[in-house]
């Protein structure tokens, strides 16, 4: 029994190394992004917005919220599946007829890089841009918007 665990560990590491880098890396990243949908709620915000635009503003916070909640749960489930199976080929996105492979946002908001020292080039001068706290309303301050 004790001799099987090192063998299984060695086989798992060999399988990960033999699988290549780009496919599993992309699948794991996509899976983690989709799993964190329950924190981000991008599908919820988009569904409420799209329901208000195309169906009726009266049903945006009811039907749109339920539709967005269902899509958020589906995206999180697909993300968990991709995280668990990332070393196993195929590395193409799954459930693309129902969900887009990449996270979605409402049409009235497109995310940018966070405002921190890693991405800001002019922090010594005091001119930076980007989102400071993108989840909080009213926190989107950009110096050089075009």
Claim to verify: residue 54 and residue 121 sit in the same structural domain: no
Q: Pick the residue with more confidence: 100 or 121?
A: 100
Claim to verify: residue 92 and residue 121 sit in the same structural domain: no
Claim to verify: residue 64 and residue 117 sit in the same structural domain: no
Q: If we measure between CA atoms, which residue out of 32, 59, 25, 60 comes closest to residue 45? A: 60
Contacts (Cβ under 8 Å, ≥6 apart) of 119 = 113, 130
What's the domain range around 93? 21-108
CB 71, CB 99: distance < 8 Å: yes
Question: How do residues 63-110 score in pLDDT, each as one tens digit?
Answer: 999 999 999 999 999 999 999 998 888 888 888 888 988 888 888 877
- On the question of pLDDT at 8 being above 60, the answer is yes
139, HSE (Cβ side, Cα atoms, 13 Å): 11
């Amino acid at each position: 029994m004790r001799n099987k665990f090192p063998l299984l560990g060695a086989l798992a590491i060999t399988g990960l190394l033999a699988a290549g880098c780009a496919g599993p890396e992309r699948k794991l990243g996509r899976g983690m992004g989709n799993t964190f949908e329950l924190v981000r709620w991008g599908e919820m915000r988009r569904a409420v917005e799209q329901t208000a635009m195309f169906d009726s503003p009266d049903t945006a916070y009811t039907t749109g919220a339920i539709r967005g909640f269902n899509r958020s749960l589906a995206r999180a489930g697909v993300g968990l599946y991709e995280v668990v199976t990332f070393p196993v080929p195929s590395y193409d996105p799954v459930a693309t007829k129902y969900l887009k492979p990449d996270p979605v946002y409402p049409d009235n908001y497109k995310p940018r890089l966070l405002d921190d020292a890693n991405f800001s080039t002019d922090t010594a001068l005091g001119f930076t841009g980007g989102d400071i706290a993108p989840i909080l309303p009213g926190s989107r301050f950009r110096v050089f918007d075009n």
